[in-house]
Structure formats: C-alpha cells, structure tokens
Structure 1
Amino acid sequence: MDLYETFSSLKSFEAIKSIDMHTAGEATRIVYDGFPDLRGSLLDQREEAEKKYDDLRKRIILEPRGHFDMYGAILRPQTELVESGEADIGALFIHNGGFSTMCGHATIALGRFLVDTSDENAFPNRSNLRLDTINSTAEVRIHVPCGLVVVTVPTNSDGTKSDPSRPVSFLSTPAFTAARDMEVEIPTNVRWKELGSRSSINFDLAYGGAYYALISAKELGFTNGLKEIDLLSVTSCIRKLKPFLASHPAVIDAIRHPDDSRLSYLYSIMIVDSNSGYHPEAAVSVESGLCYFADNEIDRSPTGSCVSARVALAYDKRQIELGEKRAYNSLITNHFEEGAFIGSVAEVLNESTIIAQVEGYAFYIGSSLFIWEKGDRTSREGFIFDQCV
C-alpha cells in the first residue's frame, strides 16, 4: 500500500509501529518501533518516559487510536539486566493513567511475540533464546520495572515459532502478603449504597509485581458475588474506594516495598469471589475476580500479576500447597468458559513470600502503524471521551 510506505518513511508523521494481541480478552499493544530512545536503568527509563513522552503514551493508548481500557507494552532492548546478561530484553507497560510496574497478561503476550519475531532491531537477542528441544519450549527472560520474569513459551519442533495451542507460563518476581485482614473505617462521604449500615470493610493487601487490595464482593455489599453484578454500581463504588484506600495511612504503611520506593503504591483493587468461576480440568480449585486498575480501567483478563499476589496470599493463609493449581477467572473467561489463568506456587522463599507460576494463552489480533499529522490537535495526545463532555 503506497500510503503505508509513505507514513512509515517520512519522519514528519512520527510513525509508531505495533503488534496487537489479546490475553483472555485483554489487549496488549506491543510497540516495537517509533518510541524515542530512553537511557539509564529500566526504572529510570520509566521515569524519563513519564516526564518527557507521556504525550506519546496517551497517543498510543487513548482515543482515537485506542480506548479507555486499552493496554500496551513498549520494548526496551537495552536495560541494566540486558547488559549484564540476566535478561534478553526489557519492557515498559502503559495504560490509561500512566506506566505500571508489572503486567502478567502482557508478559504472556510478549512471550509469544518475542519468540515469533525475527526483527533484530526490535529484539537483538532473539537468536540467543534458550530452547528445550525435548519439551519444545523457549525461555525468554524479560526485564520489567519490578524485576526479572522468566517466560516459558511453547514452540514448534525447531523453536522458530510459538505454538498457540499450548499455554505460555511465567515465573513471577517475589510475591508476598503485605497485610492480612486489614480493617478500615469508611467515612460517610466515601460510602456507597450497597455497604448499607456498615461503616468499615476488611481486606488483604498483596504484592505480585504491583500492590493489590483484595476484597471479596460480599464484603463490599454485593451479596450475589460476581455471578450477577450491576457493573455501574460496582464501578461507582470503586471510584470512591480506590483513591480513599490509596491515600489511607495504614495502607501506605503496609505497602512500602523493601527494594525500591518507586514500587510502593496501590495499583489496583481486585474484587474476589471464591465461590464462582469456570473450572478447567487442570485446576484443583477456582475463583473469580474483577480488577480495577490505573484510572479505573477494568481488566478483561484474570490479571496475571494479581494472580501472583493471590497465590502468595493463598499460600500465606495455608489455602494452597506447593505446586497445587488454582484457576483464576475474570468476567470474560467465565462468559466464554475459556482462558482462565492457572496459578501455582513454584518456589517458597519464606512463610509469606513465594515465586508464582502463571499460565495463560495469548493470540494475535492485528498490526498497526500509528501516525500524527501536523495540525491535528484532536489526536496529538489522544483523549478520554468522558472527560470531554
């Protein structure tokens, strides 16, 4: 197509190229070309991108090129762990509100993409991947802002392409319980209708590459769990609750990351229902969840990094044993009865800290060439429709 070639070649269009995938219905827009160079450690690169190139993050994620619940990953071929040989490549994660520190569904998608690509500009270390010819898998070590995740990708017999019929799995960074059974008083101005006459809630805090508040649907007053929900009512509740918890002194004190203060913030609220969910044969037990993250995005997938956090919490509560497989569902995986993430304890580091293994399937849905044409004020940084009306 002549216009495609024109847009690709002329610098005046500021072309950004991506491969789009989904994992259990949640999109990952993988940016492999066109994002500016970044310097320093990966966390430093994340800070630089936030300060200098947030307009590009918005352009990639928001309307008219994306939407409120869009998600993406930006390849970073050079990081300190890539230079030391510990990682094959780095990645930054982007959403409607900024840059996150970990993403499981995107990690699963990245695993397939990094095996399938032969573009050395996008992935200079592709030829160095470690192949297991007996099990037909490839190991990809990805440096993400919270640390190193090791991804196992099923492949064809010679390791040149991924096999979409088998699940991708990853080993998490250390996942742990931050607080159990925390009780917090809810001020009158924060309360929602379904809370009724109650004035407090109980919840857990756990870390799986980001910090999550894990709250049962019934604890929030939604008595039917996640089987039958009024999404507008739940969203209204979370819009009040999430900023309140994120700024609560007890929560802030509980989520001080031991390694880096830049990881110390409440990323998400996961509403949990342990009494419902699609049950794959491979799993011993099952639960469902509804994840609100960033600027109240709703995750279509079961949220891989939160699966790591939930596995750590379940192990801490003696609800799951080493190697035992539990299925974690979202509203979408329950609807289609496929795509549940399988989580398990792969390694125990101490009583409350583990390495989780998370399995899931990712699929390709397209490729994109995004441009900005000079004079186009509407799409230069993108927009959120609700904020314009």
Structure 2
Amino acid sequence: MNGATIQGLFGNVSPPINCVEMHTTGEPTRIIWSGVPEIHGTLLEQRSKFKDKFDHFRRLLMLEPRGHWDMYGAILRPETELVDAGEADMGVLFMHNEGFSTMCGHATIALGRFLVDADETMFPRRKLLKHDSETQSTTVRLHVPCGVVKITVPTLPTGKSDPSRAVSFISVPSFATAINITIPLDEKYRWPELEGRTSVVADFSYGGAFYCIISAEELGFPKGLSEADFAGMDRATKCLKDAVNASPSLAYCVQHPDTKELGFLYSVMIVDHDAKRKNDATLNTPPRSSLTSEAVVGEETGLCFFANQQIDRSPTGGCVAARIALSYAKGTLSKGESWMYHSILSRAYDGLHGFAGSYVEEVDLQADAYSEQRITGVRVRVEGQAYYTGCYSFFVEEEDGLGADGFSLKNLNRRE
C-alpha cells in the first residue's frame, strides 16, 4: 500500500513507514526499508545523526503502541561510504529500546534472507549480488556500524532464499579483552543473591559489541538457567553493568583498538556452565536441524540482557562471536570445531534454532592507538535461521499526541 492510498483511506496522516517483520529464534527484527528520514554521510555519522536528531523515529517504531520493550529494528541504508566504494552491498543501522547498536547477529541473519528475496525497489543493488551455483547460495556484504560482515544465504533455484537451510555470516575481528577478571562491587551495586560477597569474576569479549560474560552460579543463581529467575537476573545484570561502567579501572575491558565509538559495554550475558562435551549423544545429532558440517564439540545455554535490559530471545549472534573469541583466547576451542549456543527459548524447544559458532581465521589487531602491542583475535562463522512474520505500513495521525512518540510503562516515571 503506497502513501497516496494510505492518505486517501485514513485522511490526515504522515507518509507511511514500510517494514518487513522477521524473527530469528523468536527475536524480532523490524526491517525498515522506506519512509526513513533523509540522512547522509558515513554510516557512523548517520548513526550519530539518528541519535541526535531523529531519535523520535526509533521510539515511534520500537516502543508502544507500534512495538514493545523488547522490539528490535534494522534501518536499511543503501548509501554508505563502503557501499559507494564497492566494498559492501547494503548498509544498516540497528536500534532497540535504548538507542542504536553497533552490531546485531540475529538481525544480520534475518537481513541476509530479506536482501536476497527483496526486489530492486527495496534493494537497488540486488542484481549485483554474487550467486554460487555449486553451493546454491548467495553472498551479501552488509555494512554494519562495526565494519563489514559477509553473509551466505542458501538459495533456491528460483533465486529466493531457502528457509530450510541455515544462513551464516562471518564476523568482524572478535577478541577477548579480560579473562577471569575480578569486578569489585560497591554497596550500591550489590544484589541480594550475592549473599554478602563484594565482588564477582567475569570475562569480557568483543564480537561487534562488548559483552560481559558471567556464569549464573557466579552471579548468585546456583540453579543456573534451568529455572531462570528473570526478575532477579534482571536486577543483578543491571547492577553489574552499572558497576562496570562506573569503574575507571575496568575501562580497558571495553576498549576497542580502532575507534572510541565502539568502546562501551553493550550487554551482560549469563551462561550456564552445565555445558556437555561431544560424548553426549544429543550433540551427535543436533535436534531438528543440523546447522554445521564441522565437529560439534559442546553446547551452552545463555541469557542475554542488552541495551536497557532487553532480553534476547535468540542465542545472540554478536555474543556467539564474542564467546568463540573467548574460547579461542582460553585455548578451549580449535579450528574446525563448532560449539552450539542456545537461548532459554531454543533450549526449551529441544534445541530448535540454536546458533552454531566456529572460528575461520586468526587476525592481529593493535591493542590501542598509542602502543605497538598486538592482540590476536578471530573471525567467527555464526549460523542460524530466520523467518518472515509479516509486513507493516506505519503512520501517525496529526492529532495523535500520544501515539506520535513511543512510550513504555517501564519508564513512565523517567520520562523527560
């Protein structure tokens, strides 16, 4: 339905914002392909302009009445510096309940399918995508705020994406920044489940964004994620994130060697260390779907709190890259081995639509701009499946004072 038709039917409304809806292991991706504010510049400049001048656009689409607290969005950006240079096919900005992400794996998997299926109205460079007839797959180079990720999309003879096979992407260079680091907790950052402890031990790793990775037991939940206490874990991860952000001595844990814009703690990932090795018979034949041809050597369940305490329904693709980089740094994963990652949701459905992760190559990075120290990271292959759920055209009636700006019952008391 075009803008003229919508305005003819509904009267005095804004031009439509057109979206395609998808989910990856239950985690939504609202793909906005038209009706976007006119913005130019590098992708990071566009991200900054959206944050400073068009944040109402994010609130309108992410929060109620059109979205909800855990909605996630992707704004297509067909013109970026890397698209113009021929290094990428499409750019994208990611958004959530708090602002704009630097990377999102679940949305990348969804975008791979969408861009292969899209027509030239939605994706002007669609005909330039490279198809591999031997593997029956199509490659999409996606420019995300942290770099370029290469997506491989299984393709049918019709040229459309094949929903029966997993989409994969190769991450930006991913690396661990701190292993088994003690995080001191001032009294105001402690939560009841600590039972008197004044610190916790966690890891930090980067997979397009920075993650603090901590076991459920260390966080104070001895039952792990088998009986997840969402309210308690929400409180604990918020306190932990605030404590990290308030500590100058921990700033190096979220320091990126290339740019300060990527240097912030995006998420706390709670992991359950009841991980099983490959002698577990369930790993030899992954439930319902085989994502990878590499040797699956183990599995792990995680619960990700990101942005302003959103809960990721998926296994979290960016954190799969971060956890593979962490395993590489610890020496617990070899090249050619794959690990299966589950969210609470995929684990509840017998492992359906978990993500597979493996590293494909080592990369060297400079530790920071002011030293010659080198750190070694990896590029990670992340595999998962995404599905369509619908299409929407959103608009705003001129008289609608409440619906013109997104709201949430969670933050009414903090509304400016």
TM-score, reference length from structure 1: 0.96
Matched residue of 1:295: which SS? coil
Letter in 2 for 1:45: Q
Report the equivalent of 2:307: 294
The structural deviation recorded for 1:6 is 2.1
Report the equivalent of 2:151: 151
Residues 188/42 of structure 1: CA separation in 2 closer, same or farther (3 Å cut): same
Contact preservation (8 Å) 2:170, 2:379: yes
Work out which of the residue numbers 363, 372, 376 in structure 2 matches 1:349. Answer: 363
CA distance in 1, matches of 2:245, 2:391: 36
Matches within 5 A, 1:30-41: 30-41=31-42
Residues 65/244 of structure 1: CA separation in 2 closer, same or farther (3 Å cut): same
Residue by residue over 1:153-181, the C-alpha shift from the partner in whole angstroms, topping out at 9 and shown as x without a partner, is 000025x2000000000000000011111
CA distance in 2, matches of 1:16, 1:214: 37
Report the equivalent of 1:285: 298
Contact preservation (8 Å) 1:315, 1:352: no
Report the equivalent of 1:179: 178
The structural deviation recorded for 1:323 is 2.0
Letter in 1 for 2:145: P
Report the equivalent of 2:406: 382
Contact preservation (8 Å) 1:312, 1:352: no
CA distance in 1, matches of 2:395, 2:249: 45
Report the equivalent of 1:240: 239
Matched residue of 1:219: which SS? helix
Letter in 1 for 2:340: A
Report the equivalent of 1:274: 273
Matches within 5 A, 1:37-116: 37-116=38-117
Contact preservation (8 Å) 2:3, 2:15: no
Residue by residue over 1:84-109, the C-alpha shift from the partner in whole angstroms, topping out at 9 and shown as x without a partner, is 10100000000000000000000000
Matches within 5 A, 1:197-212: 197-212=196-211
Report the equivalent of 2:136: 136
Residues 4/231 of structure 1: CA separation in 2 closer, same or farther (3 Å cut): farther
Residue by residue over 1:304-323, the C-alpha shift from the partner in whole angstroms, topping out at 9 and shown as x without a partner, is 00100000000110111112
Percent sequence identity over aligned pairs: 46
CA distance in 1, matches of 2:357, 2:34: 33
CA distance in 1, matches of 2:376, 2:22: 34
Matched residue of 1:29: which SS? strand
Tell me whether 99-108 or 351-360 shows the greater mean CA deviation. 351-360
Report the equivalent of 1:215: 214
CA distance in 1, matches of 2:154, 2:302: 27
Report the equivalent of 1:260: 259
Tell me whether 331-340 or 348-357 shows the greater mean CA deviation. 348-357
Matched residue of 1:13: which SS? coil
Contact preservation (8 Å) 2:177, 2:204: yes
Report the equivalent of 1:17: 18
The structural deviation recorded for 1:276 is 4.7
Report the equivalent of 1:373: 397
Work out which of the residue numbers 310, 331, 334 in structure 1 matches 2:323. Answer: 310
The structural deviation recorded for 1:4 is 8.9
CA distance in 2, matches of 1:245, 1:266: 8
Contact preservation (8 Å) 2:190, 2:239: yes
CA distance in 2, matches of 1:292, 1:121: 36
CA distance in 2, matches of 1:156, 1:102: 28
The structural deviation recorded for 1:8 is 8.5
Residue by residue over 1:59-113, the C-alpha shift from the partner in whole angstroms, topping out at 9 and shown as x without a partner, is 0000010000000100000001001101000000000000000000000000000
Contact preservation (8 Å) 1:13, 1:373: yes
Matched residue of 1:138: which SS? strand
The structural deviation recorded for 1:239 is 2.4
Contact preservation (8 Å) 1:8, 1:15: no
Residues 4/370 of structure 1: CA separation in 2 closer, same or farther (3 Å cut): farther
TM-score, reference length from structure 2: 0.90
Report the equivalent of 1:360: 384
The structural deviation recorded for 1:190 is 1.4
Contact preservation (8 Å) 1:28, 1:72: yes
Residues 250/378 of structure 1: CA separation in 2 closer, same or farther (3 Å cut): same
Residues 75/213 of structure 1: CA separation in 2 closer, same or farther (3 Å cut): same
Contact preservation (8 Å) 1:178, 1:207: yes
Residues 4/307 of structure 1: CA separation in 2 closer, same or farther (3 Å cut): farther
Residue by residue over 1:28-72, the C-alpha shift from the partner in whole angstroms, topping out at 9 and shown as x without a partner, is 000000011211100000001111110010000000100000001
Report the equivalent of 1:321: 334
CA distance in 2, matches of 1:373, 1:230: 41
The structural deviation recorded for 1:2 is 10
Q: CA RMSD in A?
A: 1.9
Contact preservation (8 Å) 1:269, 1:293: yes
Matched residue of 2:83: which SS? helix
CA distance in 2, matches of 1:20, 1:8: 25
Matched residue of 1:325: which SS? strand
Residue by residue over 1:136-195, the C-alpha shift from the partner in whole angstroms, topping out at 9 and shown as x without a partner, is 00000000000000000000025x200000000000000001111111111122111111
